Chain A
């Protein structure tokens, strides 16, 4: 078993799926010869050629549109948005076409496309290279949104996304690309979409989060364990639709929930998690449900000190958890 970084796990999953099924192909800006601006498709062009690793014009609506058409025709496209921030021109294609087609055609048609996009801040990206965009898509039935938190999960979930019969938005945290490393098996394994995972068991407080914030939660939990505070970490993995059962089970056990996201606080994924908890766990709650999120400003600032202030980090998670544990 090799130790892979988060982005190497992306590349490996793509490679294995393209080897397994010749209907799988990749399209996006600079994904071919260049191997992607983040090197996510590194080596695929050489291995599979220009017909299966397609460089597209700078037109996100076309990348999504071409992919959706190919998917409806029976192919398995993996479309890449160079940055999640650039997905806006493709929203009409993704929501109005991909997400709706099965319902609209009364189950005659479906659209098994995977759209990959790097999201998130913390790499000094400023306004157009830092945003979290999951909430925009998180009330569109027909669409699935997967946001893995570790290299192992990346490989298993990306394979499941590619094999899924419906459109999947696969969001990768760009800071996690080279920050997170772990052992990733070279076997062909998948992780089910729509299932959250308890990354750490605990009894005092539950953290519900996803993506890179899981990493911060793990570090904070480690620190708090030294002070006898036992933290349970629920990694949503799929943020839409949400795995209600795992959340309910965990929060019913601990009675205290901290919900963490890098996205703006208002209208974010964790607001939905809070609603699930209040609908189902009232008589098990021992403290108000707390949210830790970015302030309601358009995007992560460019200035490093402000970016640091804006972002979630281990200290902030630790502080919030400690407060809740002491409540």
Chain B
């Protein structure tokens, strides 16, 4: 059983509307297919409208005396058929527009005739104009806006010169996009597969990963450092708590939660690392939202744990567990992936002891937590077996320098080496 629509039929060539003169059925009436349901008058004919279904009339929409367009709804009928779905509206779904990706600027240097002419007439250097058209194309309107702005600027500066003020209006500055070095696009011949090779089509997600990686590695000057941390205390503390925790909470008390906690604390002290390069300024983020890398199958997801500095070890462990589960089941939402300010990557989970992370654009640093391994360490001139871990940091050298990052890493180290139930309660 399903509700169907009966629409005003086309009752003759050139007829676009009809007036319902009399309803021949009432709500609740059962009618057969092709039975007349209403008398309709057009300026060419008077006709009876046949039902297109067998079933029970559930609602009369058009009123007697009302004129409605061909194809518009007259009434609803509940038909006898079991298998039909609820009638969809007759309007075709709009076909999706194919939009170019936002970052794509392959049209930036394609100038239309009018843009060329206006640029020549007004002596505009087109390479310094940013375009709002498709693919970054400079449009006629961009040039016209620029001309209006320059005129206003000229007026303003000449005006201000009299008042001996030389600052530029900040509003107008904000409008202009920053011109920065962009790496050249290198076109290469397509690679050919040899017989027997397997060709794997690139998925949308893979392509996005590729684009982000290229962007990060070509735009951001990466620098790199590594420290080693003695986490013997952390291992002992965690081992003492983990069974009880699993029993109480139902998920693992992971080392990673402790590392995120330590990083968040250190970022609070060194907000310089919780920032991004914005061309003419550096933006320091107030919130500490940590992106964590989660691999699933052949895909890499980077969901975000928000405001880590406000969460307990348990809270962080719970979110790690939740986000991993969502990634595995393909349930991550856009909301889960947004807003990261710094990335912590659990490379130790697959046995790595040293790695150089690629910064998660547009953040300014990424920290890799490597495997915890037992190593002989000299303490007070004696050998001792200690649980050691390497922490590797990749940093955006435009934003950060070695000194500040060294201080940050030392702070992370001291937090981790002093972990105990006193300093870092789980709840």
Contact = CB atoms under 8 A, between A and B. Distances in A.
A39 B13 CA distance: 12
B114 A285 contact: yes
B14 A38 contact: yes
Interface in A119-143: 123-125, 129
B100 to A, nearest CB: 10
Interface string B67-104: 00000000000000000000000001011010000000
A286 B15 contact: no
B33 interface: no
Contacts of A319: 94-95, 97
A255 B140 contact: yes
Interface stretch (B131-139, B187-195, B248-256): B131-139
Nearest to A126: B13
A285 B112 contact: yes
A115 to B, nearest CB: 19
A80 B94 CA distance: 39
B206 interface: no
A245 interface: no
B101 to A, nearest CB: 14
A68 B107 CA distance: 56
A45 B312 CA distance: 93
Contacts of B116: 283
B16 A175 contact: yes
Contact of B13 (A129, A255, A283): A129
A327 B139 contact: yes
B112 A123 contact: no
A286 B115 contact: yes
A284 B113 CA distance: 6
Contact of A178 (B16, B95, B113, B139): B16
A255 B115 CA distance: 10
Contacts of A123: 10, 13-16
A88 B382 CA distance: 109
Interface in A256-304: 282-287
A322 interface: yes
Interface in A177-219: 177-179, 204
A39 to B, nearest CB: 7
Contacts of A108: none
Contacts of B141: 204
A10 B91 CA distance: 32
Contacts of B286: none
Contact of B17 (A124, A178, A204, A327): A178
A179 B117 contact: no
A174 B44 CA distance: 13
A179 B16 contact: yes
A19 B336 CA distance: 77
B43 interface: yes
Contacts of B137: 327
A326 interface: yes
Interface string B295-330: 000000000000000000000000000000000000
User: Interface range on chain A: under 10, 10 to 19, 20 to 34, or 35 or more?
Assistant: 20 to 34
Contacts of A39: 43-44
Nearest to A308: B92
A129 B92 CA distance: 25
A179 B43 CA distance: 12
B14 A282 contact: no
B114 A283 contact: yes
Interface string A22-55: 0000000000000000110000000000000000
B133 A178 contact: no
Contact of A286 (B10, B13, B97, B112): B112
Interface in A75-97: none
A323 B113 contact: no
B94 A287 contact: no
Given A286-B140, A315-B94, A125 B117 contact: no
Nearest to A203: B141
Contact of B113 (A38, A118, A124, A285): A285
A284 B114 contact: yes
A322 B134 CA distance: 12
Given A124-B10, A319-B97, A255 B16 contact: no
Contacts of A179: 16-17
Interface string A141-180: 0000000000000000000000000000000001101110
Given A255-B140, A285-B112, A124 B13 contact: yes
Nearest to B116: A283
Contacts of B133: 326-327
A255 B133 CA distance: 14
A277 to B, nearest CB: 12
A31 to B, nearest CB: 16
A97 B14 CA distance: 32
Contacts of A204: 141
Contacts of A255: 112, 114, 140
Contacts of A287: 112
A38 B44 CA distance: 8
Contacts of A178: 14-17, 43
A125 B15 CA distance: 11
B43 A326 contact: no
Contacts of B16: 123, 175, 178-179
A118 B10 CA distance: 18
19 contacts: A123-B13, A123-B15, A123-B16, A124-B13, A125-B13, A178-B15, A178-B17, A178-B43, A255-B140, A282-B113, A284-B114, A284-B117, A286-B112, A286-B114, A286-B139, A287-B112, A308-B92, A323-B97, A327-B139
Interface of A: 7, 38-39, 118, 123-125, 129, 174-175, 177-179, 204, 255, 282-287, 308, 315, 319, 322-323, 326-327
Given A123-B15, A315-B94, A319-B94, 14 more contacts: A118-B14, A124-B10, A124-B13, A174-B13, A178-B14, A178-B15, A178-B16, A255-B114, A255-B140, A283-B117, A286-B114, A286-B140, A322-B97, A326-B134
Q: Which 4 A-B pairs have the closest CB atoms?
A: A286-B140, A179-B16, A286-B112, A123-B13
